[in-house]
Chains A and B, each alone.
Chain A
Amino acid sequence: MVWRHLVGARIRADWQYRTSFFLFLLGQSLIACLDIAVIASIFTNVDSLGGWSGYEVALLFGLGGVSFGVADLLISQVETASRHIKAGTFDLFLLRPLSPLVHLSASEFALRRLGRVIQPFIVLVVALFKAPIDWRVETALLIPVAIAAGIVIFGAIWVITSSIVFWTVDSQEVASAFTYGGNMATQYPLDVLGVWMRRIATFVLPLAFVAYFPAARMLDHHEPLGLPNIVAWAAPAVAVIAALGARAVWGFAIRHYRSTGS
């Protein structure tokens, strides 16, 4: 497993500059803490948001945050494609007997991103105790399934939206609207969004399947966005479709790639 060797090398390299590493880790955790502080502040003003109580929103935050954090750790490195294309170093990834995506995400791996997972995980655990969950075998099973599907969906969004830089190299920031913006949107009940945004989050960019539908099922909210809440169990299928889509887009983008240079 080349991936393990490359990631191991990255971790050892980061470990050489321990102060920087811990400051960075602290920074990532702090970002996640400020995220929850924003939501907590909102709930000092109101008791419910779009019909969801504070602990119910915490469940959304936890599910979405853990999925996003793991995807951030494993695949967000695809963001650096833009930098490599500009610097002309992207060629390197195409010349190795390894999938360019695996190589890129391994060689830019940063363990400090773990800081993004820890804090949502704590919120998730608290929410599981405090939120009025309809505990059944099925709903308990939905937790790991939703997280796994969420990781894949966020990963797919990262890959698809970052592929755009193969055509317009300076437009990496568009991806942020969908990745970081998507993460923010999953922290809130999608009922609050405008109708057209809800449709996008369900049918185009399947963010609703990351946290919203699974949480609605677990909390027995009827008809989230007008659909029966059993739709939560479509998350794995949606994740598979998203992953296949990402694979196709990335493959197409790579074939389109032309090196810089004179």
Chain B
Amino acid sequence: MRLYVEVARKTFARIATYRQATLAGVFTNTVFGFVLAYVLLAVYRERETVGGFDAIDAVTFTFVAQGLLMVVGIFGSADFPERITTGDVVVDLQRPYDQQAWWAAVSYGNAAYYAIFRGIPPFVAGAVVFDLRMPSFPSFAAFVVSAFLAVGACFAWTYLLQLSAFWLMDYRGPNQIGSFVAQFFAGVFIPIVFFPSWLETTARATPFPSMMQLPIEVWLGRHQDAALLGVFAQQVFWIGVLVVAGRYVMSRAVGRVVVQGG
């Protein structure tokens, strides 16, 4: 366990050196947040609420979502699949640690950094122009727990996608498809309460709302007491399913690895 904590800490320190990239990302998240917020506000000029969200809920959702994108890491990462494609993974496999746990630790290290430096600024920028909903203290605490679980669920999903690199020359295709499907059903483009009800029901049956929609609903105070525990349980359930799937696929993949050269 100490090893993984150390990995997360070092990841945090490493990523903290890329200041230009952080600034650039904040700028982009903010621009996307503004465009989406204005589009949603146009919807609210026609009606009062959508799926129980009022205009302030929807705009708050947009900016929290833009801040969470990098925290949960929904775009995936190239670090691990590139080690597979180049064959470097062979070195990793000889080392006495668990691959999945290692990359999970990296994800959590990233998440901690992004939570501060990519999560807060777009929200503050949004709050300057729009009315945003600040959570009560208990809601915020619950949000932090839910976001923490969202990082795990999202990691487990992207890890599963990245393992396709063992079978395909170019992992980016499946990665891109998987990431976009996740973003769509997680509510990144629009909150899933905007979907027609059959599509929302479908979305809620997938692991993806656990990666974004649910934590933000918690922020908005839409789940209290028992319902809140239900949200956490749902997130933990999906982490379990995806982690087990990842371990299974990895065990199959390792059987295929052939070290070239000699």
Contacts and interface: CB of A to CB of B under 8 A. Distances in A.
Contacts of A260: none
Contacts of B194: 41-42, 45
Interface in B123-151: 129
A18 to B, nearest CB: 10
Contacts of A19: 168
B41 A192 contact: yes
B51 to A, nearest CB: 8
Given A171-B24, A174-B24, A23 B35 contact: no
Nearest to A20: B170
Nearest to B23: A171
Given A41-B190, A171-B20, A177-B27, A194 B38 contact: yes
B56 interface: no
Contact of A30 (B28, B177, B189): B177
A181 B32 contact: yes
Interface residues of B, number: 43
Interface string B19-55: 1110111011011101110110111011100100000
B180 A188 contact: no
Contacts of B174: 23, 27
Nearest to A174: B24
A134 interface: no
Contact of B27 (A27, A30, A174): A174
Nearest to A49: B42
Interface in B168-198: 168-170, 172-174, 176-177, 180-181, 183-184, 189-190, 194-196
> Main SS of chain A's interface residues?
helix
Contacts of A42: 39, 43, 190, 194
Contact of B46 (A44, A46, A172, A178): A46
Nearest to B183: A34
Given A20-B173, A23-B173, A170 B189 contact: no
Contact of A48 (B46, B129, B172): B46
Interface in A169-185: 169-174, 176-178, 181, 184-185
Given A44-B196, A185-B35, A20 B24 contact: no
A17 interface: yes
- The bracket for how many chain A residues form the interface is 35 or more
A20 B169 contact: yes
A31 B18 CA distance: 29
A24 B129 CA distance: 38
Interface centre among B31, B47, B199 (most CB of A within 10 A): B31
* Interface SS of B by simple majority: helix
A23 B196 contact: no
Contacts of A47: 46
A24 B21 contact: no
B84 to A, nearest CB: 14
B37 to A, nearest CB: 9
A181 B173 contact: no
B214 to A, nearest CB: 19
Contact of B34 (A22, A112, A194): A194
Interface in B192-222: 194-196, 199
B129 to A, nearest CB: 7
B213 to A, nearest CB: 14
Contacts of B38: 192-194, 197
Contacts of B42: 49-50, 188, 191-192
A168 interface: yes
A181 B28 contact: yes
A37 interface: yes
Contacts of B39: 42, 49, 188, 192
26 contacts: A17-B169, A17-B170, A20-B168, A20-B170, A24-B173, A26-B173, A27-B173, A41-B196, A42-B194, A44-B195, A45-B46, A49-B43, A49-B46, A50-B45, A168-B20, A170-B20, A171-B21, A173-B24, A173-B27, A181-B31, A188-B35, A188-B39, A191-B42, A192-B38, A192-B39, A197-B34
